[in-house]
Structure 1
Amino acid sequence: MSHILTLNSGSSSLKFALYPLAGADSLDTLTPRYRGMFSGLNGGTPRLKLQDSEGRPVAVDMGELPSRLELPDAMAHLLSWLEDLPDLSLAAVGHRVVHGGRDYQQPVAVTPEITAALGELESLAPLHQPFCLAPVAPLAERHPDMPQVACFDTAFHANQPEVARQFALPREMTQRGLVRYGFHGLSYDYINRVLPRHLGDARRERVIVAHLGNGASLCAIRNGTSVATTMGFTAIEGMPMGTRSGSLDPGLVLHLIQQEGMSAEALTETLYKRSGLLGVSGISSDMRELLASPAPEAREAVDLYAYRAVCEIGSLAAALGGLDQLVFTAGIGEHAAPVREAICRGCEWLGLELDSDANQRDTDQISTADSRVGAWVIPTDEERMIAWYTAQVAGLV
């Protein structure tokens, strides 16, 4: 049976999913056979997690994992296991690629020339782009005739108004591509497509989607099109995240360099890996741990996270000219009821009335029937979005 493999490769993990093509003639009917993840790559403690289509753990033998596992080795384990499954053949592979720059605004079939061009964007996403592209070469070597498709996190935002993308920098810098790109586009694309199923006849001309996870951003969507988002040139702008600082006064960054002598490497480490929830709390980057902690520093980190989210919602509502619906998604958005409550309470001025009981139950709709702004919890599925795009680009549907 023909399948599509999706890959989401990071600095320390490799997420994958396997989608049968039989009967998959729409996004809704594309159902994963397996989802899995290698974690602890490149220096951590390697682990493999595999689940079936219902989310149940699956015991699988991919060979004994060594004490240190690099990405090429994880790919080799994965491909050997797939090739040994008797009822499976790979028809195509879809990759999540964080940055498409200005040239790549739709998913594309991967060629050596496109891989090289995407590699040149590494400076725009140094902690993401090289890892996103890393599986391409070993796959091409092992399966040279198999289609590979790049699906971009920036693409959903590519048609935003220029005024929403431009920094107030010298014009020649803007012309070199120093603009706001936005990220988490695959997640926003998926939510945008499934909104009608959840909202029914409710107004959805002006929607804000809050993708709240270890990486966090929000997106303003008007009539199905992204018009503004909180992440910009890099995936660090906007609200605080698990370990990322979110937006800072540029003068503070200059101070750290000029007055405190921080190198570019030390500054990158601080802003990307030691800030956010982890930096403020000094305890953890995991929202679950912070919500369970009695420490005042944990409470402060959670409060700051929610406060900044409310501020971003206000800004995006202004860009939309009002708000009809607020959608929570991703790990924190889907599972952290206290965080959703704090954010919704901060949005009462917009006419949002929270149904506390529904919120505690993680139901689809968490606003009251009389609320002028609807509030929703909708699970995202970036892998399914990648698989659907891959099937289309490869001519499989």
Structure 2
Amino acid sequence: MSEAILVLNAGSSSLKFAVYGGASGALVPVLRGKVAGIGTAAVFSARDGVGAAVPEADLLQIAPEIGHDALIPLLLAWIAGNGVRITSAGHRVVHGGRAHAGPAKVSADLLEELEALVPLAPLHQPHNLDAIRSVAAFAPELPQVACFDTSFHRTQDRLAQLFALPREMSEAGILRYGFHGLSYDYIAGRLPEALGARAEGRVIVAHLGNGASMCAMRGRQSVATSMGFTALDGLMMGQRCGALDPGVVLYLMQQKGMSAEAVGHVLYEKSGLAGVSGMTNDMTVLQASDSAEAREAIALFCYRAAGELAQLVAAIDGLDAIVFTAGIGENSAEVRAMICDRLGWLGVTLDMQANAANATRISAAGSAVAVLVIPTDEEAVIAAATHRLGTDLG
């Protein structure tokens, strides 16, 4: 039986997993998969290390209404049935607060610390922590590692982290933390291969998916980012509004009588592409629609993205390269073109044929700014971090 590291990314209704094996420095995926529709009509899918679908007969058999607590033991047993012994587990944890500039081994004290951060990432943190607890309940001897989306941004200086709030609030932890750090960490590692010497220069990475943000890097470290205290800030997203005049929140509560819970539901789940279009948060569906509302939602998404990118340019004193990544960034030539069309003043020029083909380099030969498309791999970052903290795969 081969030994491997399990990587888990738990969401409210989904569980993504990956299994990595191999010696130090040569970790490779053995299995990847996802359970969607948890709690209602759970559906399991998996692929092997070369991307081939696991045969239907070998798929995990789960009840439609199963929850995370019962699902994870079934998943671990299924992995063992495929000839793999898990030696440790690494988890995506969205919020690590101020204390963590890197991954950390899971302990009771750490879990208590991370539980206090749930209000800052209510859509993600509870499920991330539930997955850790479920693994611990099933295999208490198994080492676990928490990898934080906020850690990558701890290199930012104090000004990039501050809000213009009373000092005592900042000292109490009301700061700009930033998110999607695992994705940015992976892209930073790929930049030398993609950009050569320019990798150490002024680069803005656009992580555009259902959750969306941007990160301005210099020396492949975070200098500034679009998300702030929570994952609600910054860019317009699939269901989240992004940056919003705080007066809107006050108006909804004071004048419209909405509760904090109701306002939160609107901002986190009813806004963004879904809210503006009145249809869906799925960019592929919106792009296929000829409705005026769908076109407006896409246009607003791109307008807001170009504006946020321009603001980040000031934080790094110019721009050498743009990298698009994540589901929309990697796959939507239309979105990339609409964003870059607003950035011509920066010297951005696309090769439209390369862009349409989702090529790695999509900037034209004469473009002053390199524009790239690099698929992200957060699971690889988690696996490597888990391995570094002591797992021996022989």
Q: Tell me the secondary structure at the aligned position of residue 339 of structure 2.
A: helix
2-11 vs 122-131, greater mean Cα deviation: 122-131
Residue-by-residue CA offset, 1:126-151 (whole Å, 9 max, x unaligned): 22111101022221222222110000
CA distance in 2, matches of 1:103, 1:154: 10
Match of 1:125 in 2: 121
Residue-by-residue CA offset, 1:44-103 (whole Å, 9 max, x unaligned): 321111112232221254553223121112212201212323x32111100000000111
Match of 1:67 in 2: 64
- Is residue 2:296 matched to residue 1:300? yes
Contact 1:122–1:129 (Cα < 8 Å) also in 2: yes
Contact 1:38–1:74 (Cα < 8 Å) also in 2: no
Letter in 2 for 1:12: S
Match of 1:233 in 2: 229
Q: Return the match for 1:382 from 343, 366, 378.
A: 378
Q: Tell me the secondary structure at the aligned position of residue 200 of structure 1.
A: helix
CA distance in 2, matches of 1:201, 1:220: 17
CA distance in 1, matches of 2:154, 2:199: 24
Q: Tell me the secondary structure at the aligned position of residue 33 of structure 2.
A: strand
Match of 1:8 in 2: 9
Residue-by-residue CA offset, 1:349-379 (whole Å, 9 max, x unaligned): 1001100000000000000111110000000
Match of 1:188 in 2: 184
Contact 1:6–1:17 (Cα < 8 Å) also in 2: yes
CA distance in 2, matches of 1:324, 1:138: 44
Q: Return the match for 1:38 from 29, 35, 38.
A: 35
1:7 and 1:116, CA in 2 relative to 1: closer, same or farther beyond 3 A? same
Match of 1:359 in 2: 355
Q: Tell me the secondary structure at the aligned position of residue 135 of structure 1.
A: helix
Match of 1:199 in 2: 195
CA distance in 1, matches of 2:33, 2:101: 28
Match of 1:80 in 2: 77
Residue-by-residue CA offset, 1:189-216 (whole Å, 9 max, x unaligned): 0000111111234464100000000000
> After the TM superposition, which residues 53-64 of structure 1 pair with which residues of structure 2 at under 5 Å, given as runs?
53-59=49-55, 61-64=58-61
Contact 2:45–2:59 (Cα < 8 Å) also in 1: no
Match of 1:96 in 2: 92
Match of 1:174 in 2: 170
Shift, 1:124, TM fit: 1.4
CA distance in 2, matches of 1:36, 1:332: 20
Contact 1:337–1:360 (Cα < 8 Å) also in 2: yes
> After the TM superposition, which residues 203-222 of structure 1 pair with which residues of structure 2 at under 5 Å, given as runs?
204-222=200-218
Aligned residues: 391
Q: Return the match for 2:47 from 51, 66, 76.
A: 51
Runs of 4+ aligned residues of structure 1 deviating over 3 Å after TM superposition are 60-64, 201-204
195-204 vs 93-102, greater mean Cα deviation: 195-204
What is the aligned-residue identity percentage? 49
CA distance in 1, matches of 2:199, 2:268: 38
**RMSD of equivalent CA atoms:** 1.3
Letter in 1 for 2:18: A
CA distance in 2, matches of 1:287, 1:78: 31
146-155 vs 123-132, greater mean Cα deviation: 123-132
Shift, 1:270, TM fit: 0.6
Scaled by the length of structure 2, the TM-score of the pair is 0.97
Q: Tell me the secondary structure at the aligned position of residue 134 of structure 1.
A: helix
Match of 1:282 in 2: 278
Contact 1:98–1:183 (Cα < 8 Å) also in 2: yes
Contact 1:119–1:130 (Cα < 8 Å) also in 2: yes
Q: Which runs of 5+ in 1 are unaligned?
A: none
Residue-by-residue CA offset, 1:148-167 (whole Å, 9 max, x unaligned): 00000000001201101100
1:344 and 1:119, CA in 2 relative to 1: closer, same or farther beyond 3 A? same
